[in-house]
């Protein structure tokens, strides 16, 4: 299993941090991860968020490329409908691959938050069609061949992209939050990124659903690596880890990845399921929510949980958050060191 780190570059005012500070510290952390041999860094994208959630991960990726030597740089994911024309995204990705020496990987998604589409003056109902057409344009553009395209949402007239990416083919991923979208990703022949919020059983089910769809379309699942994003924080002491990260973790699940944008269920004592509809619900700070889902604790606990996902869900690339919103630089750097020095060796030793 390969290990990657994940950044959303949020700067919530309640923690007294600024975007300038967050980006500067993230670049230092990522450069250190590069020196430690971490395989990859992934970025993500949202718009018009109160905590300055990164709206421009392609620019951030260029900054990372300039500060690093070996670490691969992925987008998990950019929201394709918001890039104007897919040819512009194709050009940006190609240049990023050139300046990074062939280290860039593009992940695309269609978006799901209504206020983002409203902000851009776009119809959210068109997102699937725009994304599918955009993926076709990206792939055709990166071949370096002259082509035309006449779609419902985009048109290309006798265009040829230059420069082309260093990598051929250019790695192209997709995220998908619902079963129909996962089947669509399989139909398009793209590897799947599974999000932060699934527990172990849900993770296994999502990959099983996607794998079945790959087979239905005549594709070999072994050719499509499984990548999983997780909340992650490791500290010397198990209780210390949750105590240090709790307020930063809760910012995410009370204000960003929260109802009504995403669906959550708690399990009642009698085994029945209860839908969680209030971001302030105690569920988000409970052990029930973290169990089998988020990896927060001491090195032994974190290694045990990572190994479970590796062995039971067949994960090839484990993508771990390395900077919670508003978290101190010192804590992030310590977590990174513990990951490399104490957690990964335990996982790989079996």
Q: Which of 294, 54, 269, 110 is nearest to 198 (CA)?
A: 294
Distance (Å, whole) CA 122 – CA 118: 6
What's the pLDDT band for 66 if we cut at 50, 70, 90? very high
Please, what's the b/e burial string for 188-217 (b: 16 or more CB within 10 A of its CB; e: otherwise)? eebbbbbbbbbeeeebbebbeebbebbeee
The pLDDT tens digits of the residues spanning 277-299 come to: 999 999 999 999 999 999 999 99
- pTM listed for this prediction: 0.97
Determine how β-strand 264-267 pairs with β-strand 2-7: unpaired
SS3 183: helix
In this predicted structure, what is the pLDDT of residue 293?
Answer: 97
Q: Please give the DSSP secondary-structure letter assigned to residue 223.
A: G
Return all residues near 274 (Cβ < 8 A) that are at least 6 apart. Answer: 265, 266, 267, 268
Per DSSP, helices labelled H in 101-169 are 114-119, 127-142
Q: In Å, how far from its chain's centre is CA 74? A: 8
In this predicted structure, what is the pLDDT of residue 295?
Answer: 98
SS3 200: helix
Distance (Å, whole) CA 148 – CA 58: 25
Task: HSE, CB side, 13 Å, CA atoms: give it for residue 25.
Answer: 23
**Mean local confidence (pLDDT), 30-46:** 98
**Mean local confidence (pLDDT), 233-245:** 98
The pLDDT tens digits of the residues spanning 255-280 come to: 999 999 999 999 988 989 999 999 99
Return all residues near 100 (Cβ < 8 A) that are at least 6 apart. Answer: 65, 73
SS3 230: strand
Residue 112 has pLDDT above 90, yes or no: yes
**Mean local confidence (pLDDT), 108-130:** 97
In this predicted structure, what is the pLDDT of residue 350?
Answer: 79
**Mean local confidence (pLDDT), 59-63:** 98
Q: Please give the DSSP secondary-structure letter assigned to residue 335.
A: H
Q: Which of 322, 295, 331 is nearest to 40 (CA)?
A: 322
Per DSSP, helices labelled H in the chain are 19-36, 57-67, 86-99, 114-119, 127-142, 179-188, 200-216, 238-255, 287-290, 299-313, 329-338, 344-349
The pLDDT tens digits of the residues spanning 131-160 come to: 999 999 999 999 999 999 999 999 999 999
The pLDDT tens digits of the residues spanning 197-226 come to: 999 999 999 999 999 999 999 999 999 999
Q: In Å, how far from its chain's centre is CA 2? A: 15
Under 8 Å between Cβ of 115 and 182: no
Q: Which of 64, 47, 65 is nearest to 56 (CA)?
A: 47
In this predicted structure, what is the pLDDT of residue 159?
Answer: 98
What's the pLDDT band for 177 if we cut at 50, 70, 90? confident
Q: Which of 4, 10, 116, 2 is nearest to 57 (CA)?
A: 10
The pLDDT tens digits of the residues spanning 315-324 come to: 999 999 999 9
Structural domains of the chain in order of their starting residue, each with its CATH number? 2-239+293-349 (3.20.20.30)
What's the pLDDT band for 18 if we cut at 50, 70, 90? very high
């Amino acid at each position: 299993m390969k290990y990657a780190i994940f950044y959303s570059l949020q700067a919530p005012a309640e923690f007294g941090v600024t975007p300038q500070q967050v980006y500067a510290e993230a670049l230092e952390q990522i450069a250190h991860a590069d020196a430690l041999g971490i395989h990859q860094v992934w970025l993500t994208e949202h718009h018009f968020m109160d905590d300055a959630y990164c709206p421009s991960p392609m620019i951030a990726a260029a900054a990372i490329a300039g500060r690093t030597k070996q670490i691969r740089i992925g987008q998990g994911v950019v929201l394709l409908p918001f890039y104007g024309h897919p040819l512009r995204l194709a050009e940006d990705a190609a240049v990023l691959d050139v300046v990074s020496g062939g280290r860039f990987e593009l992940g695309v998604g269609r978006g799901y938050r209504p206020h983002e589409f409203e902000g851009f003056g776009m119809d959210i109902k068109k997102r699937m069609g725009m994304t599918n057409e955009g993926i076709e344009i990206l792939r055709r553009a990166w071949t370096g061949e002259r082509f035309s395209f006449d779609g419902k949402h985009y048109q290309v007239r006798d265009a040829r992209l230059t420069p082309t990416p260093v990598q051929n083919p250019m790695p192209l991923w997709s995220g998908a939050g619902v079963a129909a979208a996962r089947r669509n990703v399989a139909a398009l022949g793209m590897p799947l990124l599974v999000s932060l919020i699934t527990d172990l059983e849900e993770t296994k089910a999502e990959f099983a659903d996607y794998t079945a769809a790959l087979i239905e379309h005549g594709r070999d699942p072994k050719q499509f690596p499984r990548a999983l994003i997780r909340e992650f924080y490791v500290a010397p002491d198990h209780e210390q880890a949750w105590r240090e990260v709790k307020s930063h973790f809760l910012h995410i699940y009370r204000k960003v990845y929260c109802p009504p944008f995403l669906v959550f269920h708690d399990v009642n004592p009698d085994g029945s399921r209860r839908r969680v509809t209030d971001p302030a619900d105690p569920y988000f700070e409970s052990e029930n929510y973290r169990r089998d889902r988020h990896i927060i604790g001491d090195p032994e606990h974190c290694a045990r949980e990572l190994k479970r996902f590796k062995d039971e869900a067949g994960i090839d690339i484990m993508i771990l958050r390395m900077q919670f919103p508003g978290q101190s630089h010192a804590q992030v750097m310590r977590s990174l060191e513990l990951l490399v020095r104490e957690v990964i060796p335990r996982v790989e030793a079996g």
